[in-house]
Amino acid sequence: MLDNERYVSLSTWTKDGNRKRTPVWIALLSDGQFGFTTGEKTWKVRRIQKNPIVEMQSCNFKGELIEGSEPFTGLARVAGINDKEYTSVKKAIRKKYGIQDQLVSFFGRFSKKYGESCAVVISLEKEKLA
């Protein structure tokens, strides 16, 4: 299952229907959803705001899909830094990735290229989880 994966390829779609994949860190949330943090100005967030359908699949740190892994489809929503969901996602990511997340967060403060931090919360289709 995806909660044990270190990296997951997140697929979002452009307005003309092209798939865009990017590797992300994800964490399982207490309510069975998944989440990750990113910058609010990233392209994946912009695409999610226009089309919330996403697909996740196991991958390596380069984003290359793991052979034989299964894709999972879900709906994503964005939570701002002041939202309760953001705090839950940030805690889950920090617990799973530890010092790596601390370093990324620290150095991320020096770059405003991707805007303020936000969280993406993903609810997967239930029939795929059974």
Q: Which of 31, 17, 43, 20 is nearest to 9 (CA)?
A: 20
The predicted pLDDT at position 69 comes to 95
Q: What is the pTM of this model?
A: 0.85
Domain ranges of the chain: 2-129
Q: Which of 107, 2, 109 is nearest to 54 (CA)?
A: 2
Packing angle of the helix pair 84-97, 99-108 (nearest 10 deg): 130
The predicted pLDDT at position 130 comes to 40
Secondary structure element (H or E) that encloses residue 102, with its range: helix 99-108
| Homologous superfamily in CATH for domain 2-129 | Electron Transport, Fmn-binding Protein; Chain A (2.30.110.10)
The predicted pLDDT at position 129 comes to 45
80 Cβ neighbours under 8 A, 6+ residues apart: 40, 86, 116, 118
The predicted pLDDT at position 33 comes to 95
The predicted pLDDT at position 125 comes to 77
The predicted pLDDT at position 94 comes to 87
User: Mean pLDDT for each 10-residue chunk of the chain (130 residues)?
Assistant: 90 96 94 92 96 97 95 96 92 84 62 77 70
